[in-house]
Amino acid sequence: MPNKQVIYQKTQKGTEAVANRHSGLAPRLRSLLIMVDGKRTYAELTTMAAALGDPQRLSELEAEGLVAPAVAEERTMPAALEPAGGPQPSATAAPQRAANLAQAQRFSSHLLEHLLGPMAEPLCIKIEGARDLADFVAVIKRAREIVREIKGAAEAERFVAQIEAQMPAG
């Protein structure tokens, strides 16, 4: 079983396949290839692949030489929020500061998945696909509304407070 913390990146062949819309890749496979950004782990990408209908898609991209493992990344997320579960973080625990927007996106995605389970997948994909802070904030506002509908106003405000604590300074 592959190490779930290994980061994947596009190879030169993968970059060319994305640039060439007529590369012959199936649409869902191309979508997953686009999501490979050199920042997401095997676990994150296979979760996204499952949302696209087939968790084995990442292996297919790797077999075709379109993606390859990069170096493992140090996680800044509290262990309690990892997708595997664990106890919910206490409201008094000060979360570590995210170093950049990408880390805030991953943190937010994992937090939302922790709160809502599998129904969070479409929003998680949008969160991680946000290209800038404005897109990210728009998706988080939508996520807050969904958390409010499902878990209540207090949980929605805790969700937003935890994300704000992870936002890059400045």
The residue with tokens 């292996």 is 59
Given a cut of 70, whether residue 92 has pLDDT beyond it is no
| Full-model pTM | 0.43
Angle at 5 between CA 118 and CA 89, to 5 degrees: 55
Measure CA of the first residue to CA of the last residue in the chain; give whole Å: 40
Non-local (6+) Cβ contacts of 92 within 8 A are none
pLDDT in tens, 12-62: 888 888 888 777 888 888 888 888 888 888 888 888 878 777 767 788 888
Segment holding 69, helix H or strand E: strand 67-69
**Rounded alpha-carbon distances, angstroms, from residue 78 to 46, 97, 106:** 21, 11, 12
